[in-house]
Amino acid sequence: MSAPTTGRTSGTDGAREPILSVRGLKKHFPIKGGGLIKRTVGAVRAVDGLDLDLHPGEVLGLVGESGCGKSTTGRAILNLQPATEGSVRFQGREIVGLGRKQMRPLRRDIQIVFQDPYASLNPRLPVFDIVAEPLIVHGLTRDEQHLRARVRELVELVGLNPEHTNRYPAEFSGGQRQRIGIARALALEPKVLVLDEPVSALDVSIQAGVINLLEDLKDRLGLSYLFIAHDLSVVRHISDRIAVMYLGRIIEVAERDELFERPAHPYTQALLSAIPLPDPRRERARQRIIISGDVPSPANPPSGCRFRTRCQKFAHQLDDTQRQRCIDVEPELEDRGVGHLNACHYAEAARVL
């Protein structure tokens, strides 16, 4: 692939225009009720007013608990699930509202790698047809010899044996299947990859190989990644910046090292405090931050701060006036310095690792 070579980049360079910009993104799923005659009685607010920027050559990690809206965000950005409201701009062009035909040229520039390599590949097709399909659908080659050479190049690029392209997905391991999915996503030479939990379905021993492959491809091909995951150790390894998501909203964004060393939002601090430390003495000495209760229903999120019903600071450290502010006023995502944004009225940076 004839793409420029780029090194690891920082996501806070204000001089660079984002390649992908999301503002006020919402994806609500209607709740139907009423017996025989169904009517809308509410909505699940899976994504409820989300802002983020992805810069050229950057890996932006998107993390949060299961059910917080991470995967829905990725699909809404790609217009695989039409957004309810908001704006998604790729290189300045609006994506929200585009029909299937209008989206077709943009599919070449933004691709997705799905979570489950067992479900995302057609079991009835050999690997050659799976990887070649995007090239044929988009009419990028009509020459059989060129098609075979291109598929061979892609399969080699992801570390697989091109002699095995006549095999079917069932004949490969989980890690190899995910590499096939990555090869298919790269066939159209995209600029952005949305990676939706790309290693969570793989054995721990296989995850490192796939992550290292993704890092190598990013540098060799000049790609930008939106890396969706719940495993903070994986996100820390690959990301330049990290956005933390809770109940449909982004609640903290910072450079990777800044976020891990100085988390400011109580939710982020609790997530990081759950990461085991390799030093047994430090592990025994530190104080864990326990999140109590269940995640509220996205169909009926709490007023004000969405995290307040589970927040240790709200329960034990604030006075009545401060608590009332958390109940009444939803905190905005604001820059507290050095590109470190968080949405908490009483945020305080603290080291928890």
Q: Is 0.85 surpassed by the pTM of this model?
A: yes
Question: Tens of pLDDT along 114-171?
Answer: 998 889 999 999 999 999 999 999 998 878 999 999 999 999 999 999 999 999 999 9
Is pLDDT above 50 for 12? no
Span 226-251, average pLDDT: 95
How many C-beta atoms lie closer than 10 Å to residue 145's C-beta? Answer: 8
Domain 20-109+190-262 indexed as CATH 3.40.50.300: yes
Banded model confidence at residue 16, pLDDT cuts 50, 70, 90 = confident
Per residue in 260-303, pLDDT tens? 999 999 999 999 998 888 888 888 888 888 888 889 999 999 99
**Mean pLDDT (whole number) for 229-252:** 95
Pairing of strands 20-33, 39-54: antiparallel
Q: Cα separation of 304 and 324, whole Å?
A: 9
Write out the DSSP string of 287-352: PP-PPPSPPPPTTSPPSSSTTGGG-HHHHHT--HHHHHHHHH-PPP-EE-STT-EE--TT------
The secondary structure element, H or E, covering residue 281 is: helix 280-285
Q: What are the residue boundaries of the structural domains of the chain, listed by start? A: 20-109+190-262
DSSP state of 162: G
Mean pLDDT on 304-321? 96
In the predicted structure, residue 36 carries a pLDDT above the cut 60: yes
Question: Looking at per-residue confidence, does 39 or 96 come out higher?
Answer: 96
